Amino acid sequence: MKPLLELKSNGPFTIGVDVGGTKTAVGVVNSQMNLAGKRENPTKKASVDAVVEGIVDTVYEVLNESNMALSSVVGIGIGIPGRVDIKEGTVLSPVSLKWQSRIPLKCILEKIFNVPIVVDNDVRTAAYGEKYRGAGVGCDNFVYITIGTGVAAAIVINGKLYCGASGGAGELGHTSIDRHGSSCSCGNRGCVESIIAGPAVEVKAKRAIKEGIKTRINTMALDDLQKVTAEMVFEAARTGDHLAINIIEQFIRNTGLVLTNIVNFLDPELIIIGGGIGQATDLFLKPLEDMVRTNTLFPVLQKVMIVPALLGVDAGIIGAGVLAHDMGI
């Protein structure tokens, strides 16, 4: 259900900004949650000022390309990695941007643009995008999970994003499920992220190749262990590679355990899988859903559906724009 670009129709308009570790994507979002223009640029991570400059430049670029003035915009929504104090619009040390302190991003950008700003975590804004224009349309209780370099989640309850008492809800990746497991970048052991994220898939493949197991993955990486990626593992599995299939089966078992716990705890109607690994759901979605339904605590929970995200990068842009609309700005 990919939204079409709809130029200069159905105002009022907001701007949605999705700031990632590698790129910053910006779009004009109309009142029907459609894009009226979009632009992407590399994220300038040298400093906070550089990130802010990148946001500002990209906003004006997309406005110019859409033949719109900033005066047509009633508010700007920002989705950004890390923990966010939503009331203050303060970003708390996002690792992927290498910021080391609390950054009052809302205040900084409101002084520059002179329009109201709302700031939230990027996974939550992506979940909002999927709710209004993607896989979550018509569903008021779901969990959106992104699995890529890391693992994170966003929770929608009764149609509203659940942020927690201090804005920290959704840190699924750093939930420990094996206290004897491998160490995680956060300092804990056996975190979900260290078990099912892309780097964990890569580690399993590299370890097997070092042990001399024959696999197409090695050929795909041109016999260079450092070039092995999770994408190669999933691609090799599509060709019937035994090692790759084994790694995917481990991924399904571990991810199934995580999702079963989520279903038992939250009773969602839907779980949406996004992120880089989420693009390979053709390989694991059906067995993953079967495993979760088999292991849920009560029969009524077996109705849960697990589906792929539909919007890609547009989810974060649309979600941030819709959040600006919903916050009444």
Give, for all 329 residues of the chain, the pLDDT tens digit: 334 344 445 778 999 999 988 899 999 999 888 898 999 999 988 789 999 999 999 999 999 999 999 999 999 999 998 889 988 999 987 766 767 778 999 999 999 999 999 999 999 999 999 999 999 999 999 999 999 988 999 999 999 999 988 888 998 999 998 888 888 878 889 999 999 999 999 999 999 999 999 999 999 999 999 999 999 999 999 999 999 999 999 999 999 999 999 999 999 999 999 998 888 888 999 999 999 999 998 887 889 999 999 998 899 999 999 999 887 65
Domain check: are 80 and 168 in the same one? no
Tell me, yes or no, whether 219 lies in a domain.
yes
State which residues form the domain around 217: 139-308
**What is the β-pairing status of strands 23-29 and 13-19?**
antiparallel
- pLDDT for the residue 186: 81
Q: What CA–CA distances, in Å, run from 171 to 99, 155, 251, 283, 302? A: 18, 11, 19, 25, 25
Q: What is the CA radius of gyration of the chain?
A: 20
Q: 275's torsion region: left (phi>0), alpha (psi -120 to 50) or beta? A: left
Domain check: are 319 and 179 in the same one? no
Domain check: are 187 and 284 in the same one? yes
Tell me, yes or no, whether 8 lies in a domain.
no
Which residue is it, tokens 């942020």? 163
Domain check: are 70 and 159 in the same one? no
Domain check: are 168 and 276 in the same one? yes
Closest CA to 147 of 250, 234, 275: 275
CB 24 within 8 A of CB 37: no
Tell me, yes or no, whether 238 lies in a domain.
yes
**What is the β-pairing status of strands 23-29 and 90-92?**
unpaired
Q: What CA–CA distances, in Å, run from 48 to 19, 51, 97, 126, 273? A: 12, 5, 8, 23, 31
Domain check: are 105 and 178 in the same one? no
Domain check: are 200 and 215 in the same one? yes
Domain check: are 117 and 147 in the same one? no
Domain check: are 96 and 152 in the same one? no
Domain check: are 24 and 38 in the same one? yes
Tell me, yes or no, whether 5 lies in a domain.
no
Tell me, yes or no, whether 208 lies in a domain.
yes
Tell me, yes or no, whether 67 lies in a domain.
yes
The C-alpha atoms of residue 68 and residue 28 are separated, in whole angstroms, by 9
Tell me, yes or no, whether 2 lies in a domain.
no
3 state DSSP class of 107: helix
- pLDDT for the residue 42: 92
Tell me, yes or no, whether 179 lies in a domain.
yes
Q: What is the CATH number of the domain that holds 221?
A: 3.30.420.40
- pLDDT for the residue 328: 61
Domain check: are 39 and 157 in the same one? no
The C-alpha atoms of residue 29 and residue 307 are separated, in whole angstroms, by 25
Please state the length of the chain.
329
- Total domains present in the chain: 2
From the number of C-beta atoms within 10 Å of its C-beta (0-12, 13-18, 19+), residue 254 rates as: middle
Domain check: are 253 and 268 in the same one? yes
